[in-house]
Amino acid sequence: MRLILFGAPGVGKGTQARKITLKAGIPQISTGDILRQQIRSGSPLGQKAKEFTDQGNLVPDELILDIIRDRLGKPDCAPGFILDGFPRTVAQAEGLEQLLGEMESQLDAVIALEVGDEAIVQRLSSRRVCRSCGEVYNVLLEEIPKVCRHCGEAAIEQRADDREETIRHRLGVFNRQTAPLLDFYRERGLLKSIDGDRAVEDVHQELMGLLA
Ligand code: AP5
């Protein structure tokens, strides 16, 4: 299964991708997670990316397409993958099409999660993440532990781009630069949409039903 989980910041792409990965055994590929790893390691790519991510702007297409080309070439992607947060521009979607063509492969589905802007602002300003392993929490859904339930590190914090002003900027960037991909994938007959403003498990069940 080769799948794109599509949607604005905070609709729950990462949360749902991790659940599908556990069931289907195919990797979640989050360009946001890859960029944050690069930023933490202080690599040249990370240093270049940080100035964009901190402001809630998109990292240039060429950098992102290099990351994806490298990642999709890894053996664990052979049985399939879930793209989370990629593509985000028409140029990236075209680059992906070209890359998959070279690999004699193609997408099976693009599933768009839909959540209203105010619910997104509330979710993201309440999100906490483990700086060490990326585990995601939300103060509205649970009590935040002192150490990460996944890796045991005392490294749970708020992402730099999860402040209200930056969240609203990211939503504007999504509407201008990423939302046009809905038509791109609708025209290719790949797009399916679901209401993401429900309990995590309800969204997951509908998603799995669409993929069956
Ligand atoms: P990225 O990390 O991809 O951020 P994003 O798309 O803004 O998405 P998020 O991770 O914020 O949200 P999500 O939809 O995964 O939601 P989550 O499951 O965590 O990108 C960050 C930055 O990197 C970008 O701004 C850009 O600068 C750069 N970048 C990345 N990819 C790029 C690309 N392709 N091109 C250019 N630049 C790129 O859920 C959010 C919260 O809600 C969590 O706390 C969760 O617990 C909670 N939650 C989830 N589901 C539910 C539910 N059903 N009900 C209630 N709460 C829920």
Residues involved in catalysis: 13, 88, 127, 159, 170
Residue range 136-183, pLDDT digits in tens: 999 999 999 999 999 999 999 999 999 999 999 999 999 999 999 999
Q: Please indicate whether residue 88, judged by its CB atom, sits closer than 6 Å to ligand 1.
A: yes
For the domain bounded by 2-115+177-211, which CATH number is listed? 3.40.50.300
pLDDT of residue 67: 96
* pLDDT at 212 exceeding the cut of 90: no
**Gap from CA of 84 to ligand 1 centroid (Å):** 8
3-state SS of the chain is: CEEEEECCCCCCHHHHHHHHHHHHCCCEEEHHHHHHHHHHHCCHHHHHHHHHHCCCCCCCHHHHHHHHHHHHCCHHHCCCEEEECCCCCHHHHHHHHHHHHHCCCCCCEEEEEECCHHHHHHHHHCEEEECCCCCEEECCCCCCCCCCCCCCCCCEECCCCCCHHHHHHHHHHHHHHHCCHHHHHHHCCCEEEEECCCCHHHHHHHHHHHHC
Structural domain spans, the chain: 2-115+177-211
**Gap from CA of 127 to ligand 1 centroid (Å):** 10
Q: Please indicate whether residue 13, judged by its CB atom, sits closer than 6 Å to ligand 1.
A: yes
pTM of the predicted structure, to 2 decimals: 0.96
Q: Please indicate whether residue 58, judged by its CB atom, sits closer than 6 Å to ligand 1.
A: yes
The residue whose CB lies within 8 Å of the most ligand 1 atoms, and thus the one to mutate among 31, 52, 124, is 31
pLDDT of residue 70: 96
pLDDT of residue 125: 97
Residue range 11-38, pLDDT digits in tens: 999 999 999 999 999 999 999 999 999 9
Residue range 59-85, pLDDT digits in tens: 999 999 999 999 999 999 999 999 999
